[in-house]
C-alpha cells in the first residue's frame, strides 16, 4: 500500500489530512458491518490503497473524497460479508463478533503523529454492544449494510443505494426489515451502573466458586456461547439454562486454578477479562436484564483477543 508516509509530510498537505482523518469513520463503519476488527483494518487499508492508486487528476475530480472513501469501504464490506457468511457457517463452534476494549489503537503503518490519534478508536455506543452485534449477524449482507449506513451513520437512502446497488426504495425496505429484527431481540435497557453491579457480583461469585450465587445472577433461561480457535477448543453448542452455565463455570475454575478475573468495558458495556499466567484467555460480554444475566458471550479465540494485549 502507498501510505501517507510515502507521499511526503502529511502535516504539510491539508488535502491529505482530510483524507487521513476519515480513518475513524471508516474503522467504525467497517467494524459494525463485519464484526471483526482485523477485517475492518483490512478494509480501511484496501480503501486507502484504491485512493492512492488514483492519479492526482482523478483525485481532484472527486467532489467529496470522504463520500468516495465511504462508498468504496461499504462496497468492499458488502462483498466480504457474503464470503464471511460462508466461512462462519463452517466455523468450529459458534462464531462470536470480535470484542473491542474501551481503549487502544488498532491502526498500524501510519506516520508519526497519526498512530496515537484518539480519533482512531472505535466509538463505543449502543450500536457496538455485543447483543447488537450478534443480531447484526442474523441479517443478510444487504440488510446489514443498509441498516448500519442509514440508522447508525445517518446516510440517506439515496446514498445507501449507491453502495448496495439497489434502488433507494429497496434500501428503505432492507433497513426496515433489519430494524424489525433488532426490535424483536431488544430487551428493556438496564442502566450501566446496574449492569456493572451485576457483572461485579458475577465475578465475585465465580472467583469464590459459589454456584448458588452464580445461579442467582443468571436468568433461568440464560444462554451462554463460547467460541474457540487455534489451540483453543471450541464449545460446539450454546449452553442453555442458568444452572447449566453456572456448573460449567465452576468446572472451568476448578480445572484452571490461578485464573485472574478483571472488570473491563467490552464493546461499551460492563464485561470481564480473564487472565491465566499473565496471558489473556477469555473476554466476556453480557446482556443484563434487570439484575439477571440473560446472555453471556465468552470469546476465547486468540486471534480475536489481540487488541486486548498490552
| Exposure class string for 53-85: b at 16+ Cβ within 10 A, else e | eeeeeeeeeeeebeebbbbbbbbbbbebbeebe
Q: Which of 142, 130, 150 is nearest to 29 (CA)?
A: 150
Please state the pTM of the whole predicted model: 0.85
- Paired residues of 114 in beta bridges: none
Report the alpha-carbon angle 74-78-84, nearest 5.
Answer: 130
Cell matching residue 83: 464470503
What string of pLDDT tens digits covers the 310 residues of the chain? 333 334 444 443 546 677 778 898 999 999 999 999 989 999 999 999 999 999 999 999 999 999 999 999 999 999 999 887 666 666 667 889 999 998 543 333 333 333 333 334 566 677 889 999 999 999 999 999 999 999 999 999 999 999 999 999 999 999 999 999 998 887 777 888 999 999 999 999 999 999 999 999 999 999 999 987 655 666 768 999 999 999 999 999 998 889 999 999 999 999 999 999 999 999 999 999 999 999 999 999 888 998 898 6
Amino acid at each position: 500500500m502507498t501510505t501517507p508516509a510515502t507521499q511526503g509530510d502529511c502535516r504539510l498537505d491539508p488535502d491529505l489530512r482530510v483524507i487521513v482523518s476519515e480513518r475513524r469513520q471508516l474503522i467504525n463503519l467497517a467494524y459494525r458491518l463485519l464484526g471483526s476488527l482485523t477485517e475492518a483494518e483490512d478494509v480501511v487499508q484496501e480503501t486507502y490503497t484504491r485512493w492512492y492508486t488514483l492519479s492526482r487528476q482523478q483525485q481532484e475530480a472527486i467532489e467529496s473524497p470522504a463520500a468516495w472513501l465511504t462508498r468504496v469501504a461499504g462496497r468492499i464490506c458488502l462483498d466480504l460479508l457474503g464470503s464471511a457468511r460462508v466461512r462462519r457457517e463452517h466455523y468450529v463452534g459458534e462464531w462470536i463478533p470480535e470484542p473491542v476494549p474501551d481503549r487502544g489503537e488498532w491502526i498500524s503503518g501510519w506516520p508519526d503523529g497519526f498512530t496515537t490519534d484518539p480519533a482512531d478508536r472505535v466509538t463505543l455506543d449502543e450500536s457496538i454492544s455485543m447483543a447488537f452485534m450478534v443480531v447484526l449477524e442474523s441479517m443478510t449482507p444487504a440488510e446489514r449494510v443498509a441498516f448500519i449506513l442509514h440508522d447508525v451513520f445517518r446516510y440517506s437512502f439515496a446514498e445507501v443505494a449507491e453502495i448496495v446497488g439497489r434502488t433507494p426504495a429497496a434500501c428503505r425496505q432492507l433497513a426496515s426489515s433489519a430494524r424489525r429484527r433488532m426490535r424483536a431481540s431488544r430487551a428493556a435497557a438496564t442502566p450501566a451502573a446496574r449492569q456493572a453491579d451485576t457483572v461485579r457480583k458475577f465475578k465475585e461469585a465465580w472467583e469464590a466458586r459459589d454456584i448458588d450465587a452464580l445461579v442467582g445472577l443468571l436468568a433461568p433461561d440464560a444462554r451462554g456461547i463460547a467460541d474457540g480457535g487455534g489451540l483453543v477448543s471450541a464449545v460446539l453448542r450454546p449452553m442453555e439454562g442458568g444452572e447449566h452455565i453456572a456448573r460449567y463455570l465452576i468446572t472451568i475454575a476448578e480445572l484452571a486454578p490461578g485464573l485472574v478475573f478483571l472488570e473491563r468495558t467490552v464493546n461499551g458495556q460492563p464485561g470481564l477479562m480473564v487472565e491465566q499466567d499473565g496471558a489473556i484467555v477469555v473476554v466476556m460480554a453480557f446482556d443484563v436484564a434487570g439484575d439477571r444475566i440473560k446472555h453471556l458471550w465468552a470469546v476465547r479465540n486468540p486471534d480475536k483477543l489481540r487488541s486486548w494485549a498490552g
